[in-house]
Chain A
Amino acid sequence: MGRAVSDGWLLARVLRDPAATAGFNADMWTTLIGIARAEQMIGTLGCRLDGLIVPETAARLFADARDAAEEGRRAALWEAEMARRALAGLDCPVLLLKGTAFVAAGMQAGVGRAIGDLDILVPRARIEEVEAALFEAGWEWVKEDAYDDAYYRRWMHELPPLIHRDRDRMIDVHHTILPLTARITPDAAALLADRTPLAEGGLHTLSRNDILVHAAAHLFADGDLAGGMRNLWDVHCLVEEFGIAGLAERARHHGLSREVARALRLAGCLYGSVAYGSDARHVGDALYLRRLTARDGWGRATRPFTRFAFYVRSHWLRMPPAMLARHLWIKWRKG
């Protein structure tokens, strides 16, 4: 490693080159582990370092993290299976998204990855049937208040979240990959049409390129970059595993060329994905990297002003100005 870093860059460099941990002292290990936990990448790190010579205590922590990821994988796949059973009667395409798709398809991006809710994509025209079938199988509303519910239904790209009454697991049912309010409108029909079947069971994933487009859209056209290091690791793994043939055209088709290009550049900067233009940094990339790596050795979020700027930006991107104002006003009144 070059200069001693103690922010997200430390994690990035180790994920990029596990051998960089050679000669780490106790404090560097402690810092690395603290940052990885805060970024919810400790499982990924544990898998990257598997088999390397590391201090016994660190090795135990990484083994624990791999165990945790394995149990998380089991639970995620089971939720997908129960959703499949619930929707089997509908004869309607069901696509797994994000982490669950990665592990279901056995992709590199899924190795050791923390997985939260189950995200699925279905045709917008079928969404009421899907909703009904899920209710039938024991999912119910996470009781949101009226405004949130109306907001979701009118403006978001998904149903309000459902939770299973017995298994306590949430499912997000999407009909496209960006909010309807976003200035960009991806081609949802194409996302569905070009789906890739999973080995067994009648579930699907997005096409390889659409998975990358989705990751980029989620990161830059929707989110406030929270969890960005993990999402860019996904991008890095996908690019390394499947390449980017036809990606540029696909991104253009969905109107997400800028986002995809930026995802590739930043993944290249952080993780050294075979450089797809990552050496030609664009204006603003530095600011993104500053936000993405804003952690300290105690796992604390740092650089509050940069974080806040990206938070505001995320809302700006999601909504027309007048609606944003109304949204923030209502949220503010609700405290």
Chain B
Amino acid sequence: MYRAAAPATLRIVPLDDLTAIYHRASGITHLVASPVPELLAALSEPLTLVRLAKRLGEEFYLSDGEALAARLDELVASGLAEQL
């Protein structure tokens, strides 16, 4: 299961292709590209990898499901999401 940091702890400011995110819990600023903002939105409630893919599929075409796990690992490493 994966869960994103609570929305209240995130300041999300789209700049151009990139989005600036200030994470209140860590005090760390992240500059992120798609799909990170979309993943954070989808993970506002805890989801398994499979359910997350399904959830995203309702809204987007997933170009490459293979990379989804890699993006999640990045999110977890950055602290923007937690693996439960």
Tell me the A residues contacting B by CB distance below 8 Å: 71, 74-75, 78, 81-82, 85, 137-138, 166-167
Contact = CB atoms under 8 A, between A and B. Distances in A.
User: Which 8 interchain pairs have the tightest Cβ spacing?
Assistant: A78-B26, A74-B27, A75-B27, A71-B27, A78-B25, A82-B79, A85-B82, A138-B77
A319 B47 CA distance: 53
Given A75-B26, A78-B26, A78-B28, 18 more contacts: A71-B27, A74-B25, A74-B26, A74-B27, A75-B27, A78-B25, A78-B27, A78-B79, A81-B25, A81-B79, A82-B79, A85-B82, A85-B83, A137-B77, A138-B77, A166-B77, A166-B78, A167-B28
A36 B16 CA distance: 45
Nearest to B79: A82
Interface in B27-84: 27-28, 77-79, 82-83
Contacts of B77: 137-138, 166
A116 to B, nearest CB: 16
Nearest to A137: B77
A74 B26 CA distance: 6
Q: Is the interface of A mostly helix, strand, loop or mixed?
A: helix
21 contacts: A71-B27, A74-B25, A74-B26, A74-B27, A75-B26, A75-B27, A78-B25, A78-B26, A78-B27, A78-B28, A78-B79, A81-B25, A81-B79, A82-B79, A85-B82, A85-B83, A137-B77, A138-B77, A166-B77, A166-B78, A167-B28
B82 to A, nearest CB: 6
Nearest to A81: B25
A74 B79 CA distance: 14
A84 to B, nearest CB: 10
A232 to B, nearest CB: 29
A138 B73 CA distance: 12
A108 to B, nearest CB: 23
A281 B62 CA distance: 74
A81 B9 CA distance: 15
A193 B42 CA distance: 41
Contacts of B82: 85
Residue from the set A75, A78, A81 with the largest chain B CB neighbour count within 10 Å: A78
A287 B78 CA distance: 49
B84 to A, nearest CB: 9
Contacts of A71: 27
B30 to A, nearest CB: 11
Contacts of B28: 78, 167
A36 B81 CA distance: 39
Contacts of A82: 79
Nearest to B78: A166
A193 to B, nearest CB: 29
A85 B26 CA distance: 14
Contacts of A166: 77-78
